[in-house]
Structure 1
Amino acid sequence: MPSKTVLTIGILAHVDAGKTSITESLLHHSGATKSLGSVDKGSAITDGLSMEKSRGISIKASSVNFSWNNNLFQLVDTPGHIDFSAEVDRSLSILDGVILVVSAKEGVQAHTLNLWESLIERKLPVIIFFNKIDRAGVDIERVFLDFEKDLGAKLFALNYPDLSDPDEPKLLSFTNSGNHMDSAILDKSLENLAECDEAFLAQYLDGETSDLGQVLEKGKQTIKTGALYGAIFGSAKLGLGIEELLNSLSSLIPQEKNYLSTAAAKVFKVAFHEKKGRLAYIKLYGGILKSKDVIRSQELDKDIKINQIFKPHLGDLVQVSELHHGEIGAITTSDIVLSGGVLGSENLTDPYSKISKAILGVQVIAKDEKDYQKLGEALEILNIEDPLLDFNWFKEEKEFHLKILGPIQTEVLKENLEQRWAIEAEFHKPKVIYKETPSKSAEGYVRYWMPKPCWAIMTFLIEPAPLGSGVSFTSKVRTSDISNKYINEVKRAIPWSLKQGIHGYEVTDLSITLIEGSEHTVHSNPGDFLLATPMGVLRGLENAGTDLLEPMYAFEIKANQDLLGPVSSDLNQMNAQVDSTVFNADFFIIEGRVSVANAMNYSIKFNATTSGKGRLKLKLDGYKKTTTTDDKIRAYKGVSPLDESQWILHMRGAFKADER
């Protein structure tokens, strides 16, 4: 078993806060690396992808290990761009604690708010690192107090930057900062501690706070309870605050005590390695996992074999014979496992997961037609690595379609295809993925009785349901007319039947009732009702007609009051719904809803409008009905169940619509 306490720490940040630089400083300061990696020079260990090196941002979650004060830290460096937020969410589920990095220059950003909400919901211990204190124009008091105000967090400063000489910034420990610490930061830290500690409250009210050593110990004890959050100022570039951060990780992050007795693991990432093949990155929550072991895959509902086990080591992988509880490793297996999967019999599902389905679709084509097959196979691999891409290969039309979260993702995918497979691909302009819902109630009748042997006759009642209610199915047919084994086929076919409606989009918010039907004692066979259900459901939707539902953003905008005019003009142009406008000192805050289609590229325009000084927070917020126009409708991909003769031939194997 590991002789050291094993802790998994996430490092999260908004773009360009210096997160990867802090990671490299932690590795170097702890002695894990001999030289300091640099994002700018492309030598950062955790930015292993060449795209990450060239862009200077983290794209895929990566893990590195280092030791400090008899603790083994597994540091998970997660993406800082919203287009890769699914990677962040998967990583959050395996963490024991978090370093949240905020640039002392730019302060809290919209993505910081999104991250904070997830961290608070998961009740994860968090240490805030205010980075880049060496930057010109940094206002440490403002960034500290704004963090508290914007995020509703109670902070306790564990050190203090002395910026009296701008050419040589220094750090003072909490106990040595009494004569230097800005009164607002010290006062706020003491006030926060007093609100959380009744014994200290009496001292605070009596003015007995001169013993900063005692105050610091009380502050640390309160941080451990989660009532306060420790804040450290520093500069990864200059190595300032790194040792304080290491010591805080060792002393302030609670150690996991409740390990499971049997082997159980969670898959948080899947990646293809050039030499090692498909790897599933896991965290082991109990027991010991050895190569050649057999373990249950809950997702596949079958036992799988562990072929090889690797541990991350300074940007590389080292083969080992076993993993112990708390450890992160990469495994090769006998079957494909996907991100978010659970191995073993324990319940390790993530109740806090906020991974949103992508709401933009994009078509991908190979620039050189000879790369068509190769591109399809490469996209299948990328889809295994990130199932949210929801890759569809429509082989009859020879089209590839992906779902994405934003434009940066398409650029990364394009570079990925070029660098890993030498494929030049072209990505069409992303389009919003709408949904459909019935316009009114209607019936759909299907009679599948030729060519024999077959028999499945059904009538479905299709009814609209409230927005956001999803899909419900009930059967009112007597089992003497259709037996349970065939009703179960109908149930299995319902989700499949609703993948594409009459306008080409997934159908939701409806009630489907099987009201009449019959089987035949001689001619009905397994699969008949599975085949017939989409024909009946689609016919019902055709008779009902469908409305389009468009995805919506809830937005929050904060900017200087002199920008109210331009921002209001932008919102009017986007037909945004403004729910509230609040004025606070020199700022205004506007909240409301806007369609994804109208706001798809607004973040770029907003940054230009506010010269990068405003804050825009966008969060998916359900759907609403929209007008159905020709530019929104898309053709049915593959063989439509409404083309009944072709559908029957296709399903019975007379021809394959998916022949490559």
Structure 2
Amino acid sequence: MSPKTITTIGILAHVDAGKTSLTECLLHHSGAIASQGSVDKGSAITDGLAIEKSRGISIKSAAVNFTWKNHIFQMVDTPGHIDFAAEVDRSLSILDAVILVVSAKEGVQAHTLNLWESLKERNLPVIIFINKIDRDGVNTEQVFLDLQEELRAKLFALNFPDLSVANDPKLRSFTNTAGHLGVPILEISLENLAECNEIFLEQYLEGKTDNFESILEKAQQAIENKSLFPVLFGSAKLGIGIEALLNNLTVLLSHPQTYFSTASAKVFKVEFHDKLGRLAYIKSYGGLLKTKDSIHSQQLEKEIKINQIFKPHLGSLAQFPELSPGEVGIISTTEIIQAGDALGTEILHDEFSKISDAVLGVEVKAIEDKDYQKLGEALEILNLEDPALDFKWFKEVREFHLKILGPIQTEVLKENLVQRWSIEAEFLKPKVIYKETPSKSAEGYVRYWMPKPCWAIMTFLLDPAPVGSGISFTSKVRTSEISNKYINEVKRAIPWSLKQGLKGYEVTDLSITLIEGSEHNVHSNPGDFLLATPMGVLRGLENAGTDLLEPMYAFEIKAQQDLLGPISGDLNQMRAQIEAPTFDDDFFILKGRVAVAEAIDYGIKFNATTSGKGRLKLSLDGYEKTTTTEDKIRPFKGVSPLNESQWILHMRGAFKADQRLPV
């Protein structure tokens, strides 16, 4: 196809940095759209949902294409609010490069740092765009200095903002900065280049800095090997700096990619369309995908059929017969496909840390009882679109449970249910999701041999393991006692045996050893060991007892020095572990750890204390043992393996319950 260079670029930012406005500018300036949309007016192309238009924020990632200088750019606009970080995680999995947008007015914000850590881990090429230089009171020099310090990265400014005339911001390209090299932004850029280029270091020390074209060429080389990170200034509102950004996208970020020879794709988003049904947004990593093709789903472990192929086109879908390597497209299928799935047989690695993990659980109830079934079905669809919700439908007690990242997410889910399904729902107060771990070593014995035909006899040894170590399983039983085909069923059953412990939470940080057992050469079958394993494991937990583990936040606070006292007082009330403060001019920086349960609502108080001018960064930082109180314990949902007679009847299909055998 022509043009041949295809690059998938994500636009990332802290909320309200101007990310969607910049997307609209790029589309308009490149000629992809005739008139520029507005976030405030609800006319932005990438904010297609009614809820996005009404709230003026991005909630779902959106893909749009444009062409600039014979390069195709597939641009993914992502949500900026941390409550929708799971959507950003899924988008990151298919990106070739990133534009990181920073507001010149607000500067470096907490979520900016979260995003930067993910970008560093993935080693993605990045252009930093400092937006809103037209705003009153901006200090572009300070923002540049703060960025370098906070990101711990060497920056290089590819243009320079001239704000000398009020209400008339201008930009100078780097090659047009003669007479301005003494200003800090450019001086620091040259120092950074000198540190990573020996030839320029010698020229810099000799004062030979007048060949701007040569300097820029050396800077571009350093940017390509990620020794330097490029910075561009501009204003999406006024369309300033947009052409420079487009030109640098082609020079710095658009390079030929390598793809597999066989059909391969990554699913990064799933949504339900009123007319087209289930749609999966994919990026092709090899081969030619065609309508009516079948391709292997690694999550479903079977072939799925591609009914139709579409490509995103300015907020709508255009149908195409095929999808080429490197292209982002949408396929329709009748299969229950989920975001994160890999299609084809190639291994598409995506073992990276999440920007934020869900540590809060919320129960959802239908306001009107007649909507109970309808609400359950709607939540199932929302869970397919966002698997991080981890939706559970406990039919015995008529309860719906979700995992969430924060209160904004629940508000959006509530509006979503009204707008899409006309369902009024109540979201109860979020609760912290704890974990359990064995208090001591103990054995768990199970004998499943009635009613025949069945036979699975096992003894498990459960040992506590270090916090954060997860689950391990080994077998010391000879294959003459239990054959490998049955041991494999035990291994398969271990993870879902530990989904609920004695106190109602997932069990972790333990070592499980199968120390004794037997099979029957006539009566045993694989399902017997699948059924019996949870009974033996839960019996071992009952004998050992369990401790609760609570999720912890690592916090980093930056605020004015005169607020150190009040903020330290708040942290002490939350029983936080606080490191000694450090000071930077008029600001202090505090780091430490605090329980999620204590800090769940602290962001609101912090913003009030600092008048919105402080920075609070919270990131999940493992788990710690905590005291067990009645309010933390949850009842077991479904049929417990400790109720062995009911469990056996349930697993044999004698009656229905929520806890079904995994497929």
Pick the TM interval, shorter chain: over 0.9
Cα distance, 1:519 vs structure 2: 3.0
Distance 1:136 1:3 in 2: 41
- 1:97 counterpart letter in structure 2: A
Distance 2:455 2:123 in 1: 56
Range moving further from structure 2, 544-553 or 596-605: 596-605
Partner of 1:381: 381
Equivalences for 1:462-477 in 2 at 5 Å? 462-477=462-477
Distance 1:652 1:15 in 2: 51
Work out whether residues 130 and 233 of structure 2, in 8 Å CA contact, stay in contact via their aligned partners in 1: yes
Work out whether residues 342 and 349 of structure 1, in 8 Å CA contact, stay in contact via their aligned partners in 2: no
- 1:448 counterpart letter in structure 2: Y
Distance 2:206 2:473 in 1: 67
Range moving further from structure 2, 409-418 or 13-22: 409-418
Partner of 1:396: 396
Range moving further from structure 2, 5-14 or 463-472: 463-472
Partner of 1:122: 122
Change in Cα spacing, 1:14 to 1:357, as seen in structure 2 (3 Å) is closer
TM value normalised by structure 1:
0.97
3-state SS, counterpart of residue 240 of structure 2:
coil
Work out whether residues 2 and 324 of structure 1, in 8 Å CA contact, stay in contact via their aligned partners in 2: no
- 1:236 counterpart letter in structure 2: A
Distance 2:91 2:521 in 1: 53
Partner of 1:253: 253
Distance 1:471 1:605 in 2: 38
Partner of 2:47: 47
Distance 2:286 2:329 in 1: 13
Partner of 1:137: 137
Distance 2:257 2:14 in 1: 31
Partner of 1:458: 458
Distance 2:259 2:338 in 1: 23
3-state SS, counterpart of residue 414 of structure 1:
helix
Equivalences for 1:12-23 in 2 at 5 Å? 12-23=12-23
Cα distance, 1:449 vs structure 2: 2.8
Partner of 2:341: 341
Distance 1:489 1:4 in 2: 49
User: What 5-or-longer segments of structure 2 have no aligned partner?
Assistant: none
Equivalences for 1:45-84 in 2 at 5 Å? 45-84=45-84
Work out whether residues 224 and 254 of structure 1, in 8 Å CA contact, stay in contact via their aligned partners in 2: no
Aligned-residue Cα RMSD (Å) equals 1.8
The alignment status of 1:85 with 2:85, answered yes or no, reads yes
Change in Cα spacing, 1:480 to 1:180, as seen in structure 2 (3 Å) is closer
Cα distance, 1:185 vs structure 2: 1.1
3-state SS, counterpart of residue 94 of structure 1:
coil
Distance 1:181 1:312 in 2: 44
Change in Cα spacing, 1:509 to 1:565, as seen in structure 2 (3 Å) is same
Distance 2:10 2:613 in 1: 28
Range moving further from structure 2, 609-618 or 129-138: 609-618
Work out whether residues 141 and 182 of structure 1, in 8 Å CA contact, stay in contact via their aligned partners in 2: no
Change in Cα spacing, 1:479 to 1:176, as seen in structure 2 (3 Å) is closer
Cα distance, 1:333 vs structure 2: 2.4
Cα distance, 1:357 vs structure 2: 4.3
Partner of 1:304: 304
Work out whether residues 357 and 620 of structure 2, in 8 Å CA contact, stay in contact via their aligned partners in 1: no
Alpha-carbon displacement from aligned partner over 1:98-120 (angstroms, at most 9, x marks no partner): 11100001101111111111112
3-state SS, counterpart of residue 631 of structure 1:
helix
Cα distance, 1:57 vs structure 2: 1.5
- 1:568 counterpart letter in structure 2: S
- 1:547 counterpart letter in structure 2: D
Work out whether residues 455 and 519 of structure 1, in 8 Å CA contact, stay in contact via their aligned partners in 2: yes
Equivalences for 1:64-463 in 2 at 5 Å? 64-179=64-179, 183-354=183-354, 357-463=357-463
User: What 5-or-longer segments of structure 1 have no aligned partner?
Assistant: none
Equivalences for 1:471-486 in 2 at 5 Å? 471-486=471-486
Partner of 2:490: 490
Partner of 1:502: 502
Change in Cα spacing, 1:561 to 1:320, as seen in structure 2 (3 Å) is same
Partner of 1:612: 612
Work out whether residues 554 and 592 of structure 1, in 8 Å CA contact, stay in contact via their aligned partners in 2: yes
Work out whether residues 30 and 67 of structure 1, in 8 Å CA contact, stay in contact via their aligned partners in 2: yes
Cα distance, 1:356 vs structure 2: 5.3
TM value normalised by structure 2:
0.96
Work out whether residues 96 and 256 of structure 1, in 8 Å CA contact, stay in contact via their aligned partners in 2: no
- 1:627 counterpart letter in structure 2: T
Partner of 2:585: 585
3-state SS, counterpart of residue 654 of structure 1:
coil
Cα distance, 1:244 vs structure 2: 0.8
The alignment status of 1:551 with 2:551, answered yes or no, reads yes
- 1:303 counterpart letter in structure 2: E
Change in Cα spacing, 1:479 to 1:125, as seen in structure 2 (3 Å) is closer
- 2:42 counterpart letter in structure 1: G
Range moving further from structure 2, 283-292 or 429-438: 283-292
Alpha-carbon displacement from aligned partner over 1:291-324 (angstroms, at most 9, x marks no partner): 1112222222222221110000000010000111
- 2:380 counterpart letter in structure 1: E
Alpha-carbon displacement from aligned partner over 1:351-407 (angstroms, at most 9, x marks no partner): 335365421111111111111111111111111111111111100111111111111
3-state SS, counterpart of residue 414 of structure 2:
helix
Change in Cα spacing, 1:182 to 1:32, as seen in structure 2 (3 Å) is farther
Change in Cα spacing, 1:649 to 1:102, as seen in structure 2 (3 Å) is same
Distance 2:90 2:199 in 1: 40
Work out whether residues 126 and 229 of structure 2, in 8 Å CA contact, stay in contact via their aligned partners in 1: yes
Distance 2:395 2:265 in 1: 37
Cα distance, 1:539 vs structure 2: 1.5
Distance 1:613 1:597 in 2: 24
3-state SS, counterpart of residue 527 of structure 1:
helix
Range moving further from structure 2, 119-128 or 426-435: 119-128
Work out whether residues 90 and 353 of structure 1, in 8 Å CA contact, stay in contact via their aligned partners in 2: no
Change in Cα spacing, 1:163 to 1:602, as seen in structure 2 (3 Å) is same
Distance 1:510 1:351 in 2: 23
- 1:628 counterpart letter in structure 2: T
Distance 2:222 2:518 in 1: 68
